[in-house]
Homo-oligomer: A and B are copies of this chain.
Amino acid sequence: MTIPDVARHAGVGQATAARVLGGYGSASAATRERVLAAAAELGYSTNAVARSMISGRTDTLGVVVADVENAYFARAVRGIADVAAKAGLQAILANSDEDSEKEKAAVQLFIERRVDGLVVAPAATDDAHLARAVAAGIPVVLLDRVVTGAALDTVVVDNRGAVKAAVTRFTEAGHTRIAVITSAMPGDDGTRLAPGADIWTTTERVAGYRQALRAAGIPRSAELIRHTGYERAWARSAVLELMTSPNRPTALFTTDNVATLGTLDALLDLDARIPDDVSVIGFDDAEWTTLIRPRLSVVSQPVQELGGLAADILVRRINGAAARPRRHTLNTTYIARESTGPVPARARRLRAPTSSS
């Protein structure tokens, strides 16, 4: 059922029917009614593809995140979708799994789809593919991560400052052996980032950790920085090893949800008492952080707002706003709960679980 069909059935010209059904131009009340009646009778429904063909807009937003299953991205996507929907846009989703090739392929597909805008949580460190989108007239907003050198709107939190402040709470309580557990692909030596896996967010958070130590005059120690990879079990075994090694840390900072889960798995397996044996602070508040005892102290970030702001900027750009792209930094909050305490007087012996698991 097309506009010519409806026009014929209503006994008006195509252009007239098109104006009524498309909601543009003018038409008398009488004809409008007649066209609408004919459309209803024939079960006409607009073909958005044909509309996009000529209008040049698709009313869609491309969204590239690492993984929607991850609670962080799920919340961000929700924020994006809500703001987009309010502006009459829908979101097309793509998961990159932190693989920059997948990201590039997704962006290319979105360009071909002629999406009106693009939100990307970049895994890639170069921006050639994003520049191509911009060159094609598609505004791009970066989410969660900065790509250095890219002239793009970016929505992030002050990761470095947030972590520095959190770790400083450890140093002020007297902790000197403070470890950081982070999910990023481990390199050959198990402590460095693999090439291409240097996610900005992680880098910044580890930098914040380093700054806090430096400010407190604590020498850095490589074995206290653990890049474990994006698997809860890997974080667990890293912490298991760390906490049973001589001269173990008295405080742990985890930079993301997966690392936090694995770390707590390990601590539970070791029967470590928090915060008596070890203090813990995590990044990102999750629904379960108040469900465990002691409750977990965390750095919380406004994830949904982050997504909403990204979509908002995009909508503005789509509507023609031409301001110079800039970085938008939202505030994090430190939520003090019960997982931090003073340095233990002496290290209680922890033993790894005998039953393998």
A positions within 8 Å CB-CB of B: 43, 45-50, 52-53, 58, 60, 67-69, 71, 74-75, 77-78, 81-82, 85, 90-95, 108-109, 111-114, 132, 135-136, 232, 261, 264-265, 268, 286-288, 290-293, 304
Contacts and interface: CB of A to CB of B under 8 A. Distances in A.
A47 B95 contact: no
A240 to B, nearest CB: 15
A222 to B, nearest CB: 29
Given A49-B49, A71-B71, A112-B47, A291 B290 contact: no
B90 A109 contact: yes
A93 to B, nearest CB: 5
Nearest to A258: B287
A68 B58 contact: no
A112 B77 contact: no
Contact of A45 (B48, B75, B136, B292): B136
A298 to B, nearest CB: 14
Contacts of A114: 47-49
A265 B288 contact: no
Given A68-B78, A92-B92, 19 more contacts: A45-B108, A45-B111, A47-B114, A49-B52, A49-B53, A68-B77, A69-B74, A69-B75, A71-B71, A74-B74, A77-B93, A85-B94, A90-B109, A92-B93, A261-B287, A268-B291, A287-B288, A288-B288, A292-B292
